Amino acid sequence: MSQRAVTKSRNEAFARVVWSAHILSYLSQQRSQPAVIPSVTIAKADTEAEAEEEEEEEEEDFPSNVTTALGSVDEDIKAKFLDCIAETLSSKKGWHYVTATGLREYECDVIVDVARNTDFSVVEADQHYLTLLKNFLFAQGHTHIDYFTSLGDNNTSLGKGKHADTGRLDFEEATITYHSARLNSSSSRLHDLIRMKFERIFEAEEYQLSGASSLVRVLRFLQATEVNLISLVRSSYECTQSPDVKIFLDSILGLTASNKVWREICLLARPVSACRLLEDVARCLPQFQRIEVILHKSPDPVILDGQFTLSIHEAWQRLGLPEQTAATRRVLQQFKDVFKKDCSKPFSTHAEVQLMIHYSNSLHTEPTLAYLGCSKKSCLLCEILMRKSPLQLKTRGRHGKCYPAWGIPLSNIENLEVQLSV
């Protein structure tokens, strides 16, 4: 990541948010906080294993199994499309790559706005993948002759002269390659989770137990010296399409271990599931065959002016918080030496808040769907700000954790007090 310019905030309201966020994160130890306003986005209940996994690995993803509650079927399809694009463009694991998407539909155009937590530095791989994505969506409503004519002579990215199905396979492969870092991590985790049970699963196949065969293919690919990621992903997708596989895993591994294995299989299958979903949306809503993707530059991170570098005790007083209990004092004591340093770091704006601010600040760019696609659930502070916004944008859900590394652009900090008091 390249060095970013940093801007300095002299606004006390923002300093108070930074102090509060740090104190709350110390006290809560990053546990989920109750919803500030009952959520209107209905996230399908996570399995126990998913919840545990998110606890263990905060930046980990979850399989796309979310339903939204926006109202009409069309709106739900569009929301799924936005989540799918956000996940697909979040090509690597980690905070930097968390991606959000918003939608603007006009008579002849569909614009998808995209932001990432840190700058969406448009490297060649991103740009190439975006071109493939647009071409793939376009191909869903056109004969292959229209399609290749539209690409022009220089563009052979999806295989000139091939049929539509081959085009889909090529796009799947491109998606798998684009996500190879994530998929390789998932493949090693799956290998570690299941390696002790390889023989039992192979034996089960010999007895032709239902669900064993597609899973055996996954295991064979995992065992290879060099994992063939494309075949592994496709076999994982096959597993997800057969309800027998999960039942079979439950019987071999027990429910808790089986849930963990299943989660990795679903993550591995995700590039294929995403391609199928994009294909379905573009066929169902033909306007989505022609999309324009606008990548938004993330605002410069913000740091607090030195006048707000206080001790944890001074910050507590300045926030007007009630007298500390003995237990609170004990916890905060552990952080008294790091508080000033923690509060003096540069804070970036999370992707969904970047888009929300962009839409709020521009008269002619309001989203046409009150929903932002996200590659992850929203944190507590993003949730609070979005609920207070007049745009009332929804997302796939909340994880409720207070991440202290949270900022908003300097240009918006002046409005923060108003935004938070609405």
Interaction between residue 382 and Zn ion (CB under 5 A) = yes
Contact window for Zn ion (CB under 5 A) among 22-30, 261-269, 291-299, 372-380: 372-380
Sheet strand arrangement including 291-295: 291-295, 110-116, 99-105, 373-374
Task: Show contacts with Zn ion in window 339-368 (CB under 5 A).
Answer: 350
Q: What is the distance of C-alpha 343 from the center of its chain?
A: 26
Interaction between residue 384 and Zn ion (CB under 5 A) = no
Residue 60 identity: E
CB of 284 vs Zn ion, minimal distance in Å: 31
CB of 300 vs Zn ion, minimal distance in Å: 17
> Could you give the residue ranges of the DSSP H alpha helices within 47-197?
48-56, 73-89, 124-139, 144-151, 164-178, 180-194
Count of Cβ atoms closer than 10 Å to residue 214 Cβ: 20
Task: Show contacts with Zn ion in window 250-269 (CB under 5 A).
Answer: none
d(CA 222, CA 208): 21
* DSSP 8-state secondary structure symbol assigned to residue 103: E
Task: Show contacts with Zn ion in window 54-113 (CB under 5 A).
Answer: none
CB of 289 vs Zn ion, minimal distance in Å: 32
- Exposed / middle / buried, residue 309 (Cβ in 10 Å: 0-12, 13-18, 19+): middle
Q: What is the distance of C-alpha 321 from the center of its chain?
A: 34
CB of 390 vs Zn ion, minimal distance in Å: 19
Contact window for Zn ion (CB under 5 A) among 96-104, 236-244, 262-270, 382-390: 382-390
Closer by beta carbon to Zn ion, 288 or else 371: 371
Binding residue (CB under 5 A) for Zn ion from 86, 194, 379, 416: 379
Closer by beta carbon to Zn ion, 175 or else 349: 349
x/- letters, 200..239, toward Zn ion (CB under 5 A): ----------------------------------------
Please give the structure tokens belonging to residue 90: 């979040």
Angstrom CA distances, 126 to 3, 178, 181, stand at 20, 8, 14
Residue 363 identity: L
Closer by beta carbon to Zn ion, 21 or else 77: 21
Positions that interact with Zn ion (CB under 5 A): 350, 379, 382
